[in-house]
Structure formats: structure tokens, C-alpha cells
Amino acid sequence: MYPKILLNLIEELKKLPGVGAKTAERYAFEIIDRDHQDIEAFANALLKIKDGLKTCTICGNITEETYCDICKDKHRDRSVICVVSHPKDIIAMEKMGEFHGVYHVLNGVISTFKGILPEDINIESLIKRVDEHVTEVIIATNPTIEGETTALYIAKKLQLKEANVTRLASGLPMGGHLDYADEMTLIKAMEGRKKI
């Protein structure tokens, strides 16, 4: 029905989260309607995102430099580390404007079902970061089975450290995701965190 080159574009667009066949078709036809300059700029942006982004050597956040803006910020409270699953979770936490500590990005969660083990995510560097200057580690993984498993594993690994290990409290529904929560829900969850 469609030329092969258009079908290939639709198939690639369908690989994006939340994009079904109809949405992929709409996107593909929108791209066709754009002028060559727009498409070239879009393609360049896609290529640059893979080549230009790095991982912060301290926290694991995405950055264009060696350190992310949060780790470079001298006004952040380095005695409190908030552990998140993905860089997009940092954006959700920062939107509430209440957290002034630093972050640690795991880049995933433990999931034996998917074959993701503790050594497959960024846990060891967190353990090394938690020294005598760190007073609290807030685990802000999603309240899913995998998120809870990861939180419990990290809490166990940090048992011998001096820092309190806390977990975000009510406000986030079980099975929910940080990046879908509104600022008020996140504020309540941060305020009601508890020790694991």
C-alpha cells in the first residue's frame, strides 16, 4: 500500500514508546510535509544526541561535559543523595523545586524477569559515593516490584554505612512512574519519606 521507504519510516517511528501504527503514520506524513531543511535539522539532532551526550562521571546523569550541571553546582547539599532509576526522573524531581541535594542515576532497576542484575546497573559507584560526609540516601525508584526490589537491595548494601537510607513515601501510587507524577504528589512523597 505505501512505498517501502515510507513503510520503513513508519516501522522506525512505531519503536518509540507510546507510538502505535496510526500515530506513526501521522508522524511519517508530517515529516513528508516538512521542507528538506526541517528534515535535515531533525535528522542532525537525532545523530547529535547519540554522539554529543555523555554520562556524568559522578552521578550518571546525562550531560554534554564530564560533569552534569547539578554536580557542578556548588550550592547543592552533597550530604543528601537522591537515587533515581533514569535521568528523566531527575527532571521530575527538580520540577518540584524542593530538593537541594545531589542525585545518583542507576540507569535501570533490578529485574530478574528481564535478566537485569545488580551488577548491570549503576549501584557500585553509589556505594563508593556514600562516605562519612553523606547523611542521607533517598531511594526514589518507582513504586513497582522492580523498584522496590532495587530499593531493598541498595538499603541492604548501605547497612554498614553511617547514612540514613530513606524511601519516598505516600503520594506515589504502586505501579506508578516518577516522570508522570505532578509536582504536588512528588512534594508529598518527598516530605513523607521514611527509613528503610
**What is the domain extent for residue 42?**
4-52
Dihedral sign for Cα 100, 58, 70, 17, please: negative
CATH code, domain carrying 36? 1.10.8.420
Residue 39 is placed in which grid cell? 528534515
* 35 and 105 assigned to the same domain: no
* 35 and 82 assigned to the same domain: no
pLDDT value at residue 151: 94
Please write the tens of the pLDDT for every residue from 178-191: 888 878 778 777 87
- Residue 171 confidence (pLDDT) above 70: no
Q: What would the mean pLDDT of 45-59 be, rounded to a whole number? A: 91
* 47 and 79 assigned to the same domain: no
Whether 59 is in a domain gets the answer no
Q: What would the mean pLDDT of 99-109 be, rounded to a whole number? A: 97
pLDDT value at residue 180: 80
Bridge partner residues of 101 (DSSP): 77
pLDDT value at residue 117: 93
Strands 62-63 and 54-55, by their bridges, are antiparallel
What pTM was estimated for this model as a whole? 0.78
CATH code, domain carrying 105? 3.40.1360.10
Longest CA–CA span in the chain (Å) reads 65
Give the confidence band of 168 by pLDDT, cuts at 50, 70, 90.
confident
CB-based contact 186:96 (threshold 8 Å): yes
CB-based contact 161:132 (threshold 8 Å): no
pLDDT value at residue 189: 79
Give the confidence band of 170 by pLDDT, cuts at 50, 70, 90.
low
pLDDT value at residue 187: 77
Give the confidence band of 193 by pLDDT, cuts at 50, 70, 90.
confident
* 168 and 127 assigned to the same domain: yes
- Residue 68 confidence (pLDDT) above 80: yes
Number of domains in the chain: 2
As a whole number, the mean pLDDT across the chain is 91
d(CA 69, CA 63) in angstroms, rounded, equals 8
* 108 and 174 assigned to the same domain: yes
Q: What would the mean pLDDT of 105-116 be, rounded to a whole number? A: 93
Alpha helices (H) in the chain, listed in sequence order:
4-14, 21-33, 36-52, 69-72, 87-95, 124-129, 145-157, 183-191
